[in-house]
């Protein structure tokens, strides 16, 4: 088991979906997610005529992304609650990356499909979807609409691990996540314009086995911000904004 305050190794391979305006295969340790950004020149009906764009997301798992095969949601005829919750989070997070008014009446759909799952799939999806989104905007000459960089990481408290400072751990693998007493996801943003400090887009912290103190909450937040800063460097290289 990796015990540290660093995230797992990250690889971002672009151009993997040939038809997509932008795509990226994220490999974060053994968590692999295929992200694509599809750009269409129309927005949902409830947004028409406002001159603004929209960003939405859909998330899925290949049936054998997991240790044992999971039922295919298309075959079951409905998406699980967990799926819906995750795709709402991805959509909400990535809307912070873009000036929707600068997009014009354009919709971007971010599809995140998990090929291999080993913890942190929603955070890896956000990190990869930002790359796909940035590439799609470039491909269509819409870079000016990209106002923030967005990345996400998980962070938690693992009890009974002497090697961890206050039990804090960044970027949990499946086994670690399973045993964690407190489990958080942090989505952070950074203006694309230049040097600046990261701020918080979304911070979700949940006591799984126990509740946690105000002090622990802030320590988790701080570690997550540090983790996101590192992921953002890799993102910039992948889209050659670096």
Q: Binding of a copy of itself at residue 111 (CB under 8 A)?
A: yes
Q: How many CB atoms lie within 10 A of CB 185?
A: 22
Q: Contact 176/119 with Cβ under 8 angstroms?
A: yes
Is 27 marked within a binding site?
no
Q: Which of 134, 129, 161 is nearest to 1 (CA)?
A: 161
Q: 32-49 burial by CB neighbour count: b if 16+ within 10 A, else e?
A: bbbbbbbbeeebeeeeee
48 annotated as a binding-site residue: no
Q: How far is the CB of 46 from a copy of itself (least distance, A)?
A: 13
What single string gives the DSSP state of each residue in 97-142?
A: TB-HHHH-S-EEEEEEEEEE-SS-HHHHHHHHHHHHHHHHHHHTT-
Residue 192 interacting with a copy of itself (CB under 8 A) = no
Residue from 48, 88, 144, 237 that binds a copy of itself (CB under 8 A)?
A: 88
Q: Is 64 annotated as a binding residue?
A: no
150 contacts 97 by C-beta, under 8 angstroms: yes
Applying CB under 8 A, among 3, 84, 101, 240 the residue interacting with a copy of itself is 84
Contact assessment for residue 8 and residue 93, using Cβ atoms and an 8 Å cutoff: no
200 vs 240, beta carbon nearer a copy of itself: 200
**DSSP secondary-structure letter at 6?**
S
Can you tell me which of 13, 58, 105, 143 binds a copy of itself, judged by CB under 8 A? 58
CB 172, min distance to a copy of itself, A: 17
Selected from 207, 233, 237, 240, the binder of a copy of itself by CB under 8 A is: 207
Is residue 4 near a copy of itself by the rule CB under 8 A? no
From the number of C-beta atoms within 10 Å of its C-beta (0-12, 13-18, 19+), residue 91 rates as buried
Choices 67-75, 119-127, 164-172, 228-236; region in contact with a copy of itself by CB under 8 A: 67-75
Judged by CB under 8 A, the residue of 1, 6, 30, 166 near a copy of itself is 30
What span, in angstroms and rounded, lies between the C-alpha atoms of 40 and 54? 10
- 203 touching a copy of itself, by CB under 8 A: yes
Q: Which of 5, 13, 102, 115 binds a copy of itself (CB under 8 A)?
A: 115
> How many of the chain's residues bind a copy of itself (CB under 8 A)?
65
Nearer to a copy of itself, 33 or 169 (CB): 33
């Amino acid at each position: 088991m990796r015990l540290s305050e660093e995230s797992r190794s990250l690889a971002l391979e672009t151009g993997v979906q040939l038809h997509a305006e932008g795509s990226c295969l994220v490999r974060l340790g053994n968590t692999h997610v295929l992200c694509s950004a599809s750009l269409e020149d129309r927005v949902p009906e409830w947004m028409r005529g406002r001159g603004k764009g929209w960003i939405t997301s859909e998330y899925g798992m290949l049936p054998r992304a997991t240790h044992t095969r999971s039922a295919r949601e298309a075959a079951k005829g409905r998406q699980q609650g967990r799926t819906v919750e995750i795709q709402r989070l991805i959509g909400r997070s990535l809307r912070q990356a873009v000036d929707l008014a600068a997009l014009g009446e354009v919709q971007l759909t971010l599809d995140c499909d998990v090929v291999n799952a080993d913890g942190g799939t929603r955070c890896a999806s956000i990190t990869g979807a930002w790359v796909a989104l940035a590439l799609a905007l470039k491909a269509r000459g819409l870079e000016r609409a990209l106002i923030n960089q967005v990345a996400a990481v998980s962070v938690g408290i693992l009890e009974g691990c002497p090697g961890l400072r206050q039990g804090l751990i960044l970027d949990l693998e499946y086994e670690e996540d399973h045993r964690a007493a407190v489990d958080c996801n942090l989505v952070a943003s950074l203006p694309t314009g230049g040097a600046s400090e990261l701020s918080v887009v979304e911070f979700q912290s949940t006591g799984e086995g126990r509740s946690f103190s105000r002090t622990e909450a802030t320590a988790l937040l701080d570690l997550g911000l540090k983790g996101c800063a590192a992921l953002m460097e890799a993102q910039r290289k992948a889209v050659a904004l670096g």
